[in-house]
Amino acid sequence: MAKSIRSKRKRKLRAIKRVRYAEKELARLKQTLGIVDKTKEKKDSSENAMDVVEVPDVPKDANCTVEGNVIEFSLKKEKNKSDSKKENERIGVVFPSEAMKMDVVTLNDIKKLGGYPKWMNQRYIHKMSKIKRRNKNKIKRIQKSNKHVRCGVKTLPESFKKKIAEGPQLDHFLEQQSKDWSDYTGDLKKEKGELKRLRLPPWLKTKIPTGENFSKLKTQLRNLNLHTVCEEARCPNIGECWGGGKYGTATATIMLMGDTCTRGCRFCSVKTSRAPPPLNPLEPVNTASAIAEWGLDYVVLTSVDRDDLPDGGSNHFAETVREIKKRNPNIIVECLVPDFKGSRKEVETIVNSKLDVFAHNIETVEKLTPYVRDRRAKYRQSLDVLSSAKEFNSDLLTKSSIMLGLGETDDEVMETMKDLRTCGVDCLTLGQYMQPTKRHLQVVEYVTPEKFKHWEQVGNDLGFLYTASGPLVRSSYKAGEFFISSIIKQRKTNQ
């Protein structure tokens, strides 16, 4: 109660101050114009009869002339219906002193400025005149420079057009090869405690994605409201995979169950949310229709983690695989699945959907897993998912992937590869981690191509059927599809 009374009192005091300030300003304005209140005039008329004078209101359209101590105003009267001539009324005012006369002579300026004193508008007048001069000069410069302007469109000279036609095209710049990586002298590894980001070495720089297949594939995905991990994860191989690459077949890794993940791994650029949008019931049919239209022999399906669903989205995943197989029984389907919180039941649902390759990424070594992946993703849990898939179907091809460059040691990488082979993993990919945005984990080391070749040889020695190792290799990289499809076809013929 006391607080409200104080606030009311403050508002009242502020209102009184505003009224007093307005009265002072009005008195100052009247003093400048020589206007005095009638009440004051009656009181002081006996003492100083000629010291003050009342000046009538000056209309904006009045003409003002000064003769001696007299200022005259000519007022325009309204037109009468009977008489169209204008009559002027002259008003005479006598100034008591020369100083008063000098102040009131500025009434011509006051009239032009809407009845305000000159001292209140001088800065504004200067500013507006300066802007007007600047705009005028700018228009002159534009008119002088645009000698080839017709109808608002600037035309190029014929000589310049000829140079453009004979010069290099955009494709010449896109096809420029980067220099040999052996000439690179930049830093490849961060020192301990160093905060600066490493520069991207030349062997990781890729071409800008272009081509007819790239544009066509992107349009089809947007029309069917489908998402790809190629776009969401900012894969560097999108130009090669979507554009056709070496074998001339455009492929894409379809991402199911939306583009929003319930987990927040520190290496991944996919959107995250605790409550993502509900599943699209038409997604399995739309995905199967798109793949059938592309006429592919090999397709990769992946998904975001949906911990908000009771089954983690396993039934939705399996339904999509069945729809694809229904339209093309000979197509090879690879499923890159989440860990489903380690649930063996959900893994079995995926395995029984007649897929050909079961893939689940271990991502990094055991020591770095808590720092790189989401806290709900565990190293041993991922190994259990891979071994469970092999138990449910021993003929199923299993696959995993490791990222290098996060600060792991060679011994830790070797231990991880051995763990994967012990779980029965058949195919392994190793690639360079690349920081997608500034808010994600920084790259600790850029592994050289020679080092990747070393890990490829180690993978073959450990007994993996297929090991893809390279700076730009990813878990669903199309370079490995030819070899994996050959393994699957050979197994089917042997059966």
How many angstroms separate the CA atoms of 425 and 388, rounded?
Answer: 11
CA–CA distance, 272 with 358 (Å, rounded to integer): 24
Name all contacts of 479-485 with Cβ < 8 Å and 24+ positions apart: 479/245, 479/246, 480/427, 480/429, 481/251, 481/298, 482/247, 484/298, 484/332, 484/334, 484/357, 484/397, 484/399, 484/427, 485/297, 485/298, 485/332
427 carries a ligand binding annotation: no
Rounded CA-CA distance 41/458 in Å is 110
- 423 assigned to a ligand binding site: no
Q: What are the respective helix, strand and coil percentages of the chain, to the nearest 5? A: 45, 15, 40
Q: How far apart are CA 2 and CA 40, in angstroms?
A: 43
Report angle CA 292, 298, 304 to the nearest 5 degrees.
90
The answer on whether 335 is annotated among ligand-binding residues is no
**294 with 249: CB under 8 angstroms?**
no
Say how many C-beta atoms besides its own lie within 10 A of residue 55's C-beta.
17
Residue 169 CB neighbours (<10 A): 10
- In 278-349, DSSP assigns E strands to 298-303, 332-336
User: What tokens does 15 get?
Assistant: 């209102």
> Which amino acid does the sequence have at 461?
D
Report helix, strand or coil for 227: strand
d(CA 472, CA 469) in angstroms, rounded, equals 8
Give the Cα separation of 213 and 251 in Å (integer): 10
Which amino acid makes up residue 438?
Answer: K
* Cα 257 from Cα 275, distance rounded (Å): 13
Residue 151 annotated as lining a ligand binding site: no
Q: Which residue has the tokens 């991944």?
A: 268
**Residue 226 CB: number of other CB atoms within 10 A?**
20
> Has 241 been labeled as part of a binding site?
yes
Calculate ∠ Cα 201-206-208, nearest 5°.
Answer: 140
Burial tier of 382 (Cβ tally within 10 Å: 0-12, 13-18, 19+): buried
What is the rounded distance in angstroms from the CA atom of residue 123 to the CA atom of residue 228? 60
Q: Which amino acid is at 71?
A: I
- Residues annotated within a binding site: 230, 235, 241, 261, 265, 268, 476
- Residues annotated within a binding site for [4Fe-4S] cluster: 230, 235, 241, 261, 265, 268, 476
